[in-house]
Structure 1
Amino acid sequence: MHCIFKTLSLPVALWLLAPLAHAADATPAEVAAYPNKPVRIIVPYPAGGSTDVLARVLGQKIGEEMGQPVVVENRPGASGNIGASYVAKSPADGYTLFLGTSTALAANPGLYKTLPYDPQKDFAPIILATTLASLVVVNPSVPVKTMQELSAYLKAHPGTSYASSGNGTPAHLGGELYKKMAGVQMNHVPYKGGAPALTDLIGGQTSLMFAILPEAMPFVKEGKLRALAVTTAKPTPNAPQMPTVAEAGVPGYELVGWYAFLAPRATPQPIVSKLNKAFDEALQDKAVRERLTSLGFDVAGGPPERLASTIRSETKKWKQVIDEAHINLD
């Protein structure tokens, strides 16, 4: 334990250590017996989407490993706030888990003046499960093929519009981050979802978009859109030929969606450790990795402190972008 926390800041270490104070609430027999009934994973988005599929793929695998069914329950609404609030107020016994996203855990604290939960106080981090890259895509009529050319084009055409899947979404925040770092001006056009945004981009109503990779790549392959770069810090296995935005003209740029599992704050540490081990082993399973890769995910994994650190750093990063762009969803 000493070697793990040696490299952590004091706030992170205290956040991770706090659940230990509640470990005595569960007897050794109860911890050893966990789980002895079905476990629920609360997904804050509708059934059928990529987040839902991720929960079901991993839920089935950890259910097999732990010997109990894992049930996925969808509680969509308010950019993930409804599902997050539900889990935050659930019993801290390890039987109700939250599949949180970068939006619910890192962006929403800046997007909403008031939240019914605190991502850094109301949850015990379990594991950073997967990440999801986006692509910078343009309508083929836009005369650019690289990020450097795009920046030059936007400086010459400051009224150019970029589409997003909605206000406060990663596609929106990614565009605002690019504006800030590249020193360009664009007009934001929000849509109600990625599909209509991509449809209008293909139709020429908008010029570019920071679109999640699995939604945009089929149109790139069909020649309906042109991809300039991937938004991850390093090349993604799902688009290995694509340069990153950072190496293609905007050093330090990174836009990554991420998906993580958390439990209510006071969940005993031994149970959190059991869950971390089960999820981490599931993420190393060949069939699981292949399935997740086919959905566009990059597999992450690792200890709870990796997730804790991610939540802290991403919250700080996106709050600055949100504040400077004056974005508010209340």
Structure 2
Amino acid sequence: MRLFSGAGKKLAFLAAASVVSLSALAQNWPASTVTVVVPWPPGGPSDIAARPLAKGLTQSLGQSFVIDNRAGGGGNIGTAAVTRAKPDGQTLLVTSSAPIVINPSLYKKMSFDPLKDLAPVTNLLRVPLVLVVHPSMPAKNVKELMAHIQSRKGQFSYGSSGNGTPQHLTSELFASVTKLQMTHVPYKGSAPAISDLLGNHIPMMFDSTIAIMPHIKSGKVKAIAITSAKRSPLLPDVPTFAEAGLPAIESYAWYGMFAPAKTPKNVVAKINAEAQKVMKGPEFQKVLADTGSDYVGDTPENFGKFVQAESARWSKVVKESGATVD
């Protein structure tokens, strides 16, 4: 009995020590410079969400939050790096939905399972996509654009910010619904895709309001339709696809923050709380207004449920559209 009592005391001590250790980890976070991995090139939509967030966290917490752009593989390369990082809150991920809820259905092989290997922290932005064309395109609306694409008899291409992105899958949805033949030209992020659209190297693309709005306002691209259920106050003259007779085309791009799986829940909770403080501040509120996003900050639990639902939704879209990464 004395031996059992001693073992029990030891287990109780270890359990208590573990609780104290986890509590200290949360209290001390961030212990040093925090790396915020963005698995896309600089200047893209994920960057637009990540940089003001990193700046605000640096100012409020007194430790540097440094953006690390690791583009490639449709967001998989940078995301995989975060799944391998130490789960202590010192390495975080800010990304679009692509590597989280689309790529698992699109890629035959992935080195990680985002639903198991990442801990959701909070949603950051949720924005509709806009179908835009180069100003030289003769089409002024969806009907005219469809007729133009049809006239090219399969010799029409469109760009996207990368394989598996909402921009790619929404384009595939558009092609599937309209029965149009188009060739996909993937880029490593929105910025290089937009650059080629501006240069008339590609005639058309879908992109989020967060990235394409300045170019619409400047007249460098022509907006044809928006994928939201209602018209955007930022683009009151641009019709929805439902208004254009294609109600099946409703799509949003969202951008969220994640930590490596097994990051202690109290650390995730602290990251969430600090992130939401920044999101409620004037600089991030301006980002929301400028991109046409409502405030979407949420608890880690609710964001996790949202991610699960999005995974099921996009899996169905991938299957029905027949989209591939090739």
The 5 Å alignment of 1:91-130 reads 91-130=86-125
* Comparing 148-157 and 310-319, the one that deviates more: 148-157
In the alignment, structure 1 residue 315 sits paired with structure 2 residue 314: no
1:305 aligns with 2:304: no
Q: Where does structure 1 lack aligned partners over 5 or more consecutive residues?
A: 1-22
How far apart, CA to CA, are the structure 1 residues paired with 2:286 and 2:48? 13
Taking the TM superposition and a 5 Å limit, the aligned residue runs for 1:176-191 are 176-180=172-176, 182-191=177-186
Question: 2:194 is matched by which residue type in structure 1?
Answer: A
Conserved? CA contact 1:164–1:189, under 8 Å = yes
1: distance between equivalents of 2:217 and 2:22? 56
Instruction: Note the 1:20-59 alignment, pairs <5 A.
Output: 24=19, 26-59=21-54
Structure 2 residue 174 is the aligned partner of structure 1 residue 173: no
Deviation of 1:72 after TM superposition, in Å, equals 2.1
Q: Give the equivalent residue in structure 2 for 1:198.
A: 197
Partner of 2:278: 282
Q: CA deviation at 1:120?
A: 0.6
Give the letter aligned to residue 50 of structure 2: A
Separation of aligned partners in 2, 1:322 and 1:69: 39
Taking structure 1 as reference, are residues 86 and 242 closer, same or farther at Cα in structure 2, changes over 3 Å only? same
Structure with the greater alpha carbon radius of gyration: 2
* Change in CA separation of 1:31 and 1:210 when aligned onto 2, cut-off 3 Å: closer
* 1:82 alignment counterpart: 77
In 2, distance between residues paired with 1:154 and 1:49? Answer: 27
2:247 counterpart SS class = coil
CA contact (8 A) 1:136 1:209 kept: yes
Select which of 243, 253, 256 maps to 2:249.
253
Indicate the residue corresponding to 2:5 in structure 1. none
Give 2:265's aligned residue.
269
Query: Closer, same or farther in 2 for the Cα pair 1:167/1:96, shift >3 Å?
Result: closer
Shift of 1:65: 2.6
Q: In the TM superposition, what are the counterparts of 1:214-233 in structure 2 within 5 Å?
A: 214-223=210-219, 225-233=221-229
Residues 177/309 of structure 1: CA separation in 2 closer, same or farther (3 Å cut): farther
Return the TM-score normalized by structure 2. 0.79
Distance between the aligned counterparts of 1:78 and 1:159, measured in 2? 27
* 1:158–1:255 Cα change, 3 Å: farther
The Cα offsets for residues 109-156 of structure 1, whole Å up to 9 and x where unpaired, read as 122111111111111110001134321124556665444565577678
In 2, Cα distance between the equivalents of 1:296 and 1:104? 23
Separation in 1 of the partners of 2:171 and 2:287? 29
Taking a change above 3 Å as real, the CA distance of residues 24 and 152 of structure 1, as seen in their structure-2 partners, is: farther
Query: CA separation in 2, counterparts of 1:30 and 1:224?
Result: 49
Aligned match of 2:57: 62
In structure 1, distance between residues paired with 2:258 and 2:316: 25
Unaligned runs of 5+ in 2: 1-17
Kindly state the Cα deviation for residue 177 of structure 1 after the two structures are TM-superposed. Answer: 1.0
Are residues 306 and 90 of structure 1, via their aligned partners in 2, closer, same or farther at CA, if it must alter by over 3 Å? same
The answer to whether 1:211 aligns with 2:210 is no
> Equivalents in 1 of 2:64, 2:220: separation in Å?
43
**Are the counterparts in 2 of residues 154 and 184 from structure 1 also a CA contact under 8 Å?**
no
Contact 1:233/1:253 (8 A) holds in 2: no
Contact 1:81 1:104 survives alignment (8 Å): yes
Q: Name the CA distance, whole Å, in 2 between partners of 1:277 and 1:212.
A: 27
Distance 1:161 1:252 in 2: 22
Preserved CA contact (<8 Å) 1:124 1:266: yes
CA distance in 1, matches of 2:97, 2:245: 25
1:127-138 → structure 2 map (5 Å cutoff): 127-138=122-133
Q: 2-side partners of 1:92 and 1:126: how far apart?
A: 13
Aligned CA-pair RMSD: 3.1
**Distance in 2 between residues matched to 1:116 and 1:323, nearest whole Å:** 21
Secondary structure at the residue paired with 2:306? Answer: helix
Any idea what the Cα deviations from partners look like across 1:207-247, whole Å, max 9, x if unmatched?
Answer: x4323335544454454543222123344343244332234
Query: Which letter does structure 2 place at the counterpart of 1:118?
Result: D
Deviation, 1:53, is 4.3
